Chain A
Amino acid sequence: MSSLYSVLLNWNYIVVIMLMMAGLYIIISNQNFIKKLVGLSIFQSSVFIFYISLGKVSGGTAPILTGVSDTVYSNPLPHVLILTAIVVGVATNALGLALVVRIHEAFDSIEEKKLLALKIEDGHQENEQKDNKL
């Protein structure tokens, strides 16, 4: 019973780790770049939820001062860090998307295996050219 209680008490942390690993699994196992980017953003927001969970004080309220004495406020520091990190996360995600769009324009594919195959072919050709020059 006590172990169940502690699992429930730490449910936030456990779910955050599950989400983080799900994001990692998407990034490793999928071939499609868009899906990889979505996995990356899942990983990212799991970290955001972890930070905000650490800043929560039970019985507290949002850190906007009310003037009433003896009010408990949650920790404002993680809020500040995550607030800026969300906007930066979207901007960097957009940079990744732009790269994917350009990759599709150049190679007609956004699947990792096809692109690697293309790269290997190119590598062989370059090596042959180098050998010829030597």
Chain B
Amino acid sequence: MVEFWVNVFLISLLVVITFYIIRLKSLIAIVALSGAYSLTAAAIFVNMDAVDVAFTEAAVGSGISTILFLAALRYLPLEEAHHTRFSGWSLTLCIIVGLMLINAAFSLPDFGDPGAPAHLHVAPRYIEESYPLFHIPNVVTNVLASYRGFDTLGEVVVVFTAGIGVIILLTGSTLSMRFRKSENLPVQNKEASKKET
């Protein structure tokens, strides 16, 4: 029962954080709040027994993601340029869609129901079969690397592609150090020659 109330409290905290993210104008404050959001989400994941996910969210979501946002803000203005006007029609759209989704949510199986269809398909097989087959107690690792290896391969390739994309966008080449030094020299020479002329 304690678990349930902790869950209710933490997940309501997320709503408060999101409200302030909508209200605030300073981008650094927004980035810091989104880090806090990720950390709260990690606490929620621990409470809902997803320890691996919580670990990842704490390391990636609140660590690396916040640092990347801050590193990008070095080159950007730190405030929103003009105050965002309250836009009625988008709020109405969101409320209508939200009400429809909440109406649908009541026909989902109850939170934590052991007889929900999601728990009856392949999950029991993963839990029962994986130890005799692999001798590895962490079921998440088994499913990640062996049962669903194709899926993980695809995700790793996506991460790799995104990394290449960022490096090419920001440095112009994947061998940046080698070329950047040679690029800079002629430009400086040109400026020097312009000054001379």
Chain A residues near B127 (CB, 8 Å)? 63, 65, 73, 76
B76 touches A62 (CB 8 A): no
CB distance from A19 to the nearest CB of B (A): 6
A49 touches B155 (CB 8 A): no
A84 touches B97 (CB 8 A): no
CB distance from B138 to the nearest CB of A (A): 5
Determine whether B126 belongs to the interface, using a CB cutoff of 8 Å to chain A: yes
Set B38, B69, B80, B112: member contacting A32, Cβ < 8 A: B80
B-side interface mostly: helix
Q: How many B residues touch the partner, as a band?
A: 35 or more
A-side interface mostly: helix
What's the A-B contact tally at a CB cutoff of 8 Å?
A: 271
Chain A residues near B116 (CB, 8 Å)? 54
* CB-contacts of B53-76 with A (<8 A): 53, 56-57, 60-61, 64-65, 68-69, 72-73, 75-76
Set A14, A34, A74: member contacting B73, Cβ < 8 A: A34
Q: Identify the B interface with A (CB < 8 A).
A: 7-8, 11-12, 14-15, 18-19, 21-22, 27, 30-31, 34, 37-38, 41, 44-45, 48-53, 56-57, 60-61, 64-65, 68-69, 72-73, 75-77, 80-82, 84, 86-87, 90-91, 93-95, 97-98, 101-102, 105-106, 108, 110-114, 116, 118-119, 122-123, 126-127, 130-131, 137-140, 143-144, 148, 151-152, 155, 158-159, 162-163, 165-166, 169-170
Q: Identify the A interface with B (CB < 8 A).
A: 6, 8-15, 17-26, 28-32, 34-35, 37-39, 41-42, 45, 48-49, 52-67, 72-88, 90-95, 97-102, 104-105, 109-111, 114
